[in-house]
Structure formats: C-alpha cells, structure tokens
Amino acid sequence: MRRHELREIIAGGESSTVEFKRKFTTSEKIAREIIALANTAGGYLIVGVDDDGSIIGVVSEKEEADQVLTASHAIVPPLELDIEVVEIEYKDVIVVHIPNSEHKPHRLISDDPAERPHERKAYIRQGENSVTASKEMARILAGQSPYAAPMTITIGDRERRLFTFLERYGKASVMDFARLVNISKRRASQTLVKLVRAGVLHIHTDNGHDYFTLV
C-alpha cells in the first residue's frame, strides 16, 4: 500500500471496513477484529493509529506482525492475511488487509476443549464496532458462500402472516414471529433465515439484537 492510499483510508475514519488500533493487546481481541471484518465485507486493521486518526506508530513492527500471525491460528476456517509496514509521518504503521471471505462464517477458537465447532463465536462489523453474530446471522453468512446449496422456499400461511405483520409494524424479531404464528423459536429462526437467503427479507443488527424487515 502506498503512503497516500493509507492517508486516505485514515482520513475516512473507522467504519465497517476499517479498524484503528493504537497497539495490539491480546491475540483473542486481534482475532475478533479480523473475523468481524472477514465476515462482513473485508477491510483493513491498522495498528499504530489512534481512534481519532492520529498517527502513533508501533515500537516493533515484527512483534506486532507476529501477534497477527498468532491470532490467525485461532480463526476457523483459516484466513489468508496480507500484512505490511507503511512509514507515515516518520512512524511505522502496520496494515493488515483482510479479504471479504468466501468461506463465512469465520469463528474464534476458544480455550475450552469441550467447545463444539458450531458453538464457537462468530463476529461481524456493525458500523465501526465488532459484535458477536447471532445464530441466525451465522447461518445467513454461511448461505452467502458461492459454495452454498441453492435455497428454495415455500410461502405458506405463516409466511403470509409474517409479511402482513411487517407491512404494518416495519420489523420483527425471531420471538415476534414465533409468537405471531405459535411456533417454536427454533422453527421461527430457521424460517427467517431461509427468507433472508431467498432475498425476501433483510436482517439487521442493532445493539446486539437482530430484527428482520421486508426487502
């Protein structure tokens, strides 16, 4: 990356595709940020830059780069990361380029040996923050893969009642739908995920809670 390109990215501030860090703290926190970017639209993790865009620089680019590599070992499926050092204002800044992955959702391997693969946490970007992805969001991310099986749905009475509800109230949660048509939360979740994957509904995340709207 050229210096002027990095300046432009920093000037744009943090966003759903850009995260600034003064310095790395723990490998787990680094992995969360990388996962969230890969699961959303890809982007840049920039180390040595404060939240307000001030250039701080890093003390040891090798140490910071090694931390990224260590963090990447806790991510499944594995991600191919591009790490480079860019000098700006006579200071070294680490730029980690994270691809918009085709193998979503990426998850974090915890220290719990009893944790099952589907129990591992996935993360996404919500504006300039990285948040935990719900089970519904994780399933939708899996459906975005070019390798996912085609989705077919049947529109029945329950779905039509949901559409009427959404036309009237604008949005619905999994629990709203479950109560509306008197089905289990699990069944409601599965139906909503299918409707999102079929392009009938949108999913939104707000303060850690999901809701669904008509397209």
pLDDT at residue 136 greater than cutoff 90: yes
The pLDDT of 112-128, averaged and rounded, is 90
CA 52 to chain CA centroid, nearest Å: 22
Work out the percent of the chain whose per-residue pLDDT is above 70.
100
Quick check: do 3-132 and 157-214 share a fold? no
Which of 68, 144, 48 lies closest to 100, judged by CA?
144
Quick check: pTM over 0.85?
Answer: yes
Domain boundaries, the chain: 3-132, 157-214
CATH topology classification for 157-214: Arc Repressor Mutant, subunit A (1.10.10)
Residue 162 CB contacts under 8 Å (≥ 6 apart), including other chains: 172, 177, 180, 181, 195
CATH topology classification for 3-132: 3.30.950
pLDDT bin (cut points 50, 70, 90) of residue 118 is: confident
- Alpha-carbon distance 211 to 177, whole Å? 10
